[in-house]
Amino acid sequence: MLHIQDGLLLNKDIDLFYEDIDLFLAYNGSREDNVVYFSSDFKDTTAYKVMDKSANGNHPMLFSKEWLD
């Protein structure tokens, strides 16, 4: 699991992240006061993309410069 945001998490939120990711996302999803850039448990993936569960749409994608040639 991975969660990236701008700012610090409280210890209770860190514990919640590991104990119940869905509840964590409900409380720590994209909000104006707590911007979340990416959050995922890596269970929803394809060969090219990882699902961003923070609801902001920043789904990391596999990229290769060779694809542009």
pLDDT tens per residue across all 69 residues of the chain: 778 777 788 899 889 988 998 898 888 765 565 566 788 888 988 888 888 888 777 788 888 777 776
Query: Domain range spanning residue 31?
Result: 2-68
* pLDDT at site 69: 66
Residue 8 CB-density burial (10 A; 0-12 exposed, 13-18 middle, 19+ buried): exposed
* pLDDT at site 36: 62
In the chain, the number of structural domains is 1
CA-based diameter of the chain, in Å? 48
Q: Tens digit of pLDDT for each residue in 11-22?
A: 998 899 889 988
Distance (Å, whole) CA 20 – CA 10: 15
Asked if 2 and 37 touch (Cβ cutoff 8 Å), the reply is: no
Distance (Å, whole) CA 13 – CA 24: 7
